[in-house]
Amino acid sequence: MGQALSEPVTTKTSSEGSTDKSLVYSVSSMQGWRVNMEDRHALIPSYEDTGDNFFAVFDGHGVGDSVAEYCSEHLHHRVFHSQAYKDGHVQDALRWANLQVDKELRIDVSQSQETAGCTALAALITKDNHLYISNAGDSRAVLSTKNGKAMALSKDHKPNDPIETERIKLAGGHVEGNRVNGTLALSRAIGDFGFKTQTDIPPEKQAVTAYPDIQEYKLTPDDEFLVLACDGIWDCRSDQQVVDIIRYGLTLKKTLVQISEELMDTCLAEHNTASVGCDNMTLIIVAFLHNNKDVDEWYDTMASNQISKPSSLCKQQQQKPSKLPPSFIIKE
């Protein structure tokens, strides 16, 4: 879990914005019980002249926030400036960008510590409503679709997953206590170069790899909003609970920032010795206007839903990730 403070830092850092007749979005972060705030994020609406949008969460771990900081500043540039993106191959662009940033960090001596890394969860939303989710690590993307049904759009990369375990072993590592070599609790990340030491295998086959899973999804008018969050949220709330809490808050005519900040408070543990609720927390919400509503109209529409108060607003508890829908296919 990492070192903990004697009292949590509950000050929130939040912001929100919108794009014309397309998206409204927010981000909120809280340090909590951790000694340092190691989460970072990226909010890039309408990148330059592309009309495409990029949102990402980077959950840092190890010896600090340097890897997460670098990713938040550079990953989106690598995506949009890649030849693959210019050629219309968005999935290839996202994969290349992850591996390229990882390569840059390894070359930079000041950034190449063996035990510094971060998760990399990104959403690229095109101007024609195609959603691409790129994930390496255990942050998670969840979509609220028709009637508020939560749909997982990423898979947590944990060492005890059979696919991850096999790769770890083939790379000369092992899984002990559900951790890579008994130390790292996730099996894909940018950085963590102490787990990427095999010189005779490519980056995607290392015990810990920056190679992401990619999911492509065509947004429909039934899709309400997307949530990108680090495991500090998902350890305490299930996919459906997070969606329910957000939708209920909207019926009370609260803003996305207000809802996010209150959600983080419900996840915060009462004591620094708790098994969950002591981590840094970062939450991005991206709501889809579907070209027929301005921001105020979208809020009014969401407020008109008849939703009971979720019980999860009152009780903090550890949650397991929901299963991916049968049609969900990870593209590697």
Residue 224 domain-assigned (yes or no): yes
Residue 332 domain-assigned (yes or no): no
Q: Tell me what pLDDT residue 294 has.
A: 87
Residue 327 domain-assigned (yes or no): no
Q: Tell me what pLDDT residue 247 has.
A: 97
**pLDDT tens-digit profile of 278-301?**
999 999 999 999 877 789 999 999
Residue 330 domain-assigned (yes or no): no
Q: Residue 314: is its pLDDT beyond 80?
A: no
Q: Residue 20: is its pLDDT beyond 90?
A: no
Q: Residue 128: is its pLDDT beyond 60?
A: yes
Q: Tell me what pLDDT residue 321 has.
A: 47
Query: What CATH number does residue 86 fall under?
Result: 3.60.40.10
Label residue 326 by pLDDT band (50, 70, 90). very low
**pLDDT tens-digit profile of 65-112?**
999 999 999 999 999 999 999 999 999 999 999 999 999 999 985 666
Q: Specify the amino acid at residue 237.
A: R
Rounded average pLDDT over 137-161: 97
**pLDDT tens-digit profile of 212-249?**
999 999 999 999 999 999 999 999 999 999 999 999 99
Number of domains in the chain: 1
**pLDDT tens-digit profile of 253-276?**
999 999 999 999 999 999 999 989
Residue 21 domain-assigned (yes or no): yes
Q: Tell me what pLDDT residue 100 has.
A: 98
Q: Give the C-alpha separation, 55 to 44, whole Å.
A: 6
Rounded average pLDDT over 47-69: 93
Q: Residue 2: is its pLDDT beyond 90?
A: no
Residue 322 domain-assigned (yes or no): no
Residue 321 domain-assigned (yes or no): no
Domain span holding position 129: 4-311
Q: Which residue has the tokens 């010896």?
A: 63
Mean pLDDT over all residues of the chain? 91
Percent of the chain with pLDDT over 70: 92
Label residue 332 by pLDDT band (50, 70, 90). very low
- Sign of the Cα torsion 68, 73, 75, 76 reads positive
**pLDDT tens-digit profile of 4-14?**
899 999 999 99
Q: Residue 200: is its pLDDT beyond 60?
A: yes
- pTM > 0.85: yes or no: yes
Residue 326 domain-assigned (yes or no): no
